[in-house]
């Protein structure tokens, strides 16, 4: 799995890319929450659910169907308390949730992600998986294996996110200048 901080970086990049105002903290927080939530399935290890089971780690909570339904539920809950545009909030939360699956499919460890669960429980990786898997054990996550994983995330996720945001910012300035 990718590290929690990298899942948060992806959610923040998505929110910034969608021009969610920095003052709209609740949307940023919920985007990060949705990006992190699929790993709730690690409780399966303590419940003796086999890793390869569709309820196991990287199972149903890493599927497209889960991302659609979960982001709909969070959006439905949120818009009751705000005047937010439903479709825009749902898109933010869906992209944040599914980004977790995308990142995990890029890692070099585990069994892959059950992208189409519960309809098909086959596990998938992307053809290339440059991101080193972050160890689940806290003692290993802060050791050399965890640091190597974090470095690969910086190279393959954080830097591309920064390049995307810088490019978007430059393009936005050009558009604003051309409209003046």
Query: Which tens digit of pLDDT belongs to each residue from 59-71?
Result: 999 999 999 999 9
Q: Return d(Cα 4, Cα 149) in angstroms, integer.
A: 12
Sign of CA dihedral 31, 35, 41, 43: negative
Has residue 16 been placed in a domain?
A: yes
Closest Cα partner for 99 from 157, 56, 22? 157
Query: Which tens digit of pLDDT belongs to each residue from 85-109?
Result: 899 999 999 999 999 999 999 999 9
Query: Which tens digit of pLDDT belongs to each residue from 10-54?
Result: 999 999 999 998 888 999 999 999 999 999 999 999 999 999 999
* Number of domains the chain contains: 1
Q: With contact defined as beta carbons under 8 Å apart, do 103 and 6 qualify?
A: yes
Confidence grade of residue 179 (pLDDT, cut at 50, 70, 90):
very low
Has residue 59 been placed in a domain?
A: yes
Kindly report the backbone phi and psi dihedral angles of residue 46, in degrees, each rounded to the nearest multiple of 5, phi listed first. Answer: -75, -20
Percent of the chain, pLDDT > 70? 96
Has residue 97 been placed in a domain?
A: yes
How confident is the model at residue 174, as a pLDDT?
A: 59
Query: Using CB atoms within 10 A of its CB, is residue 22 exposed (0-12), middle (13-18) or buried (19+)?
Result: exposed
How confident is the model at residue 136, as a pLDDT?
A: 76
Has residue 12 been placed in a domain?
A: yes
**pTM higher than 0.75:** yes
Confidence grade of residue 173 (pLDDT, cut at 50, 70, 90):
low
Q: Return d(Cα 60, Cα 53) in angstroms, integer.
A: 9
Has residue 163 been placed in a domain?
A: no
CA of residue 51 relative to chain centroid, distance: 20
Find the mean pLDDT for residues 119-143: 90
Q: Return d(Cα 122, Cα 19) in angstroms, integer.
A: 36
Has residue 166 been placed in a domain?
A: no
> What mean pLDDT, rounded, does the chain reach?
92
Find the mean pLDDT for residues 154-164: 98
How confident is the model at residue 33, as a pLDDT?
A: 98
How confident is the model at residue 105, as a pLDDT?
A: 97
What is the residue range of 18's domain? 4-130
List residues bridging with 124 in a β-sheet: 113
């Amino acid at each position: 799995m990718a590290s929690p901080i990298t899942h948060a970086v992806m959610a923040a990049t998505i929110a910034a890319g969608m021009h969610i105002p920095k003052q709209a903290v609740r949307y940023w927080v919920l985007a990060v929450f949705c990006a992190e939530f699929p790993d709730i399935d690690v409780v399966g290890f303590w419940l003796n659910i086999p890793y390869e089971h569709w309820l196991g780690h990287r199972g149903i909570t890493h599927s497209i169907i889960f991302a659609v339904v979960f982001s709909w539920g969070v959006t439905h809950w949120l818009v009751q308390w705000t005047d937010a545009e439903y479709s825009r909030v749902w898109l933010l939360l869906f992209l944040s949730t599914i980004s977790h699956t995308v990142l995990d499919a890029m890692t070099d460890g585990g069994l892959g992600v059950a992208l189409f669960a519960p309809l098909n429980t086959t596990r998938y990786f992307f053809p290339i998986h440059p991101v080193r898997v972050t160890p689940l054990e806290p003692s290993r996550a802060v050791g050399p294996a965890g640091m190597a994983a974090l470095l690969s995330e910086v190279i393959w996720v954080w830097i591309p996110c920064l390049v995307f945001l810088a490019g978007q910012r430059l393009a936005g300035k050009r558009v604003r200048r051309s409209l003046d």
